[in-house]
Chain A
Amino acid sequence: MFLKDGVKRRTVLGMAMAAGLAGGMPAAQAADDIVLGGSIPLTGVFAFAGEGIHAGIQDYVEIVNNAGGIEGRMIKYVPEDTAYKVDASVAAFNKITSQYDTNFYYGDSTGFAKTISPELDRKGTILMAGASFASELNDPEKHRYQFMAGPDYTEMINILLEYIADENPGAKVAYVHSDTEFGRDPIETSQKRAEELGLEVVETIVTKPGSVDVSTEVLKLRRAQPDYTIFHGYVLAPIPEFINQAKQMGMETKFMGTFWSMDNSMVMKMGEAGDGFMGVMPYAYYYDDSDDAPMLEKIREMRPEYQSTAYMQGFLTAMLMTESAKRTLEAGKELNGDNLKAALNSIEDFDTGGIIGVPISIPGNSIPVGRIYRADMSQEKMVPASDWIRLE
């Protein structure tokens, strides 16, 4: 009996090991697959966005592959979790690029994008985009093989400023930003732009990201009496606390945010106080039906439940990557960093199927387009407050 059991156990163990070994090999890459690797933050502080990005890329890749791929070549998406740590992201990059001939890569942070940039230059075979909209990356000379599927942070603030200058010329503006690289990114450069537009920057407040007690900062804001207050460098806290306290003090300032604090689920967490919260969004919201948007309809068909703005970001990034691969292959050229980037830069008046409501062009590393949305708490939705604004 014992022997029988032992044999059984050994057989099962052997089978498990064989299965493990078989699975241990990296899933085979067909010779002509186009590979999109990704350092995706599926765990850690940025997981809320990572999950959306992952789903977005996955869905677009599925759409393309179901339609027969690009010139018959399938796209293979190879994600790896990074927990939003630069060393893990670089590890993932090395792992994926040593296992596959990678053509595209999605990076999860500004730190990673800066770290891997020399390696991208050295390889010269990969075109990369990512979750970072850092102004620093929007430099086609310095970051040759990178782009971002939207406006950089400075451009986002500039879109807000254009809207303000249009709505309320000569208005007073205050900035509230976090004490991080992300938070400080657009502040100095966009202050210049505000002056050019005839707006007055009356206060700049720096806080820790996620700080809880902001009462002294709110008092400072009240003394400055701005017409508009722009938050940047936060995901949620301390924005709701700021708005609550300011409203209790009877302040009339209009609060605004940038991309990462603008997802529907984030804004709705602000509760009643968030009503009227505005911000710049480069993509249409999942439920937006203000424009004709076949791609949004397709997304709603594939996923009946709400998808975050990070999903749209991932989706559009995959779309632009695919488009540049398509253009490169159509021109009969090899898929390498230079050709893919040139193909990406050749994109002009491109229809994204409604992900961005106007035709887009990518002359450099960014897409300087966005729209102002406003929170409508009665509908629990973000509704358009302006038309699409394109920076010249």
Chain B
Amino acid sequence: MRIGTAKETYRHDEALFDTPVQRWWLAGLFVAIAAFPFVADAYWIYLGCLVAINIASATGLNILTGFTGLVSLGQAAFMGVGAYIVAWLEINLGTPFFVNLLAGGLGAGLIGILVGIPSLRVKGLYLAIATIAASVILHFVFANWTSVTGGQSGLTMPPATFLGTALDQPDKLYWLIVPVTVLMVLGASNLFRTRIGRAFIAIRDRDISAEVLGIPLLRYKLYSFALSSFYAGVAGGLWAYFFRVVTPESFPLVMSIFFLAAIIVGGMGSILGGILGAAFMTMVPEALKLIVGWLSPWLPDAVALLSPVRTIVFGALIVGFLIFEPRGLAEAWRRLRRFFHLWPFKT
């Protein structure tokens, strides 16, 4: 039960984590994240890294779509921009990874601003189409600017190095990917306690009212695009370090849809939603594979027989969530928390 959490100051009221219990849980989570690579095998560490990269990118899209209300289907292409910048810098200049990641993020952010310009005029589905157009253009550039992007065969890059150690394995890269993601997620959570973040929410809720309140729409919409693409760029850079091969086919349009689906399933306009959605969309197909694997002792050739079924189940799960939990996994989580706030007095 939640007791003794009277908020006596505005500062307390605005705190990101407002109860001691919550802070303890958070500390526990960080300990678990730090201990994870010591207990898990290569497969789970790999998935952990993949989930973290997807969380970073989904959080970026959540800033744009969930908090500012601008639908974008260009997230994968922005990740591509970041990935190509990181790969190019790593191959040609050999600059340290944090410089490359920052450059990848900033480069993607600049492209994001360009793509965001139409957003003052067009909204909703129209904007989604405009961002698809932008991603088609970006893909064309990836495939045809051969001297920089390596054309269709792409770029193969060396691993990141830290103090002379090559980060070439998921268990080493984990220490790069996860902290960067944690920083980005914390940054995004804090954003919505600032003027800029609140302006985003105001624009989402009613852009005309926001303008009346003195929020310059174009500037803030472009901020949102820039920030979202920055997140995508950094995530793309992490992706590049993770797979070390970047090709035009690495960031297809379906990947953008994947991220949009992740924030819808997780809960739009909620940082936790982005995290849960990205984890759900990445892990459920793998979990279903595990279940198929468990059935193999009884069902010969279960992998071949059940793989199509697995795809259908995954689709059905997404539809199920949209129907029964339209506000996303984050809402289910909140409900669970509320239950424990009153427990055991009301169950």
Contacts and interface: CB of A to CB of B under 8 A. Distances in A.
Q: Do A and B come from one complex?
A: yes
Contacts of B244: 115, 118
Contact of B42 (A24, A97, A111, A184): A97
A217 interface: no
B123 interface: no
Given A87-B50, A91-B46, A111-B249, A179 B307 contact: no
Size class of the B contact interface (CB-based, 8 Å): 35 or more
Contacts of A51: 304
B152 A42 contact: no
Q: Is the interface of B mostly helix, strand, loop or mixed?
A: helix
A184 to B, nearest CB: 5
B243 A79 contact: no
Interface string B248-280: 111000000000000000000000000000000
A333 interface: no
A90 interface: yes
A40 B289 CA distance: 13
A83 interface: yes
A54 B301 CA distance: 10
Interface in A273-288: none
Given A23-B298, A88-B285, A94-B170, A43 B308 contact: yes
B247 interface: yes
B43 A24 contact: no
Contacts, number: 85
Contacts of A97: 42
Contacts of A66: none
B304 A79 contact: yes
Given A118-B244, A180-B249, A181-B152, A94 B303 contact: no
Interface string A70-91: 0000000001110100111011
Contacts of B190: none
B209 interface: no
Contact of B307 (A24, A81, A87): A81
Contacts of B297: 23, 27
Interface string A109-140: 00100110010001000000000000010000
A90 B304 contact: no
Given A23-B297, A114-B156, A181-B153, A98 B41 contact: yes
Nearest to A109: B249
11 contacts: A23-B297, A86-B243, A88-B285, A94-B43, A98-B43, A99-B41, A111-B247, A122-B168, A180-B152, A180-B249, A184-B152
10 pairs of A and B residues whose beta carbons are closest in the complex: A42-B307, A95-B43, A181-B152, A23-B294, A81-B307, A98-B41, A94-B43, A98-B42, A94-B46, A94-B42
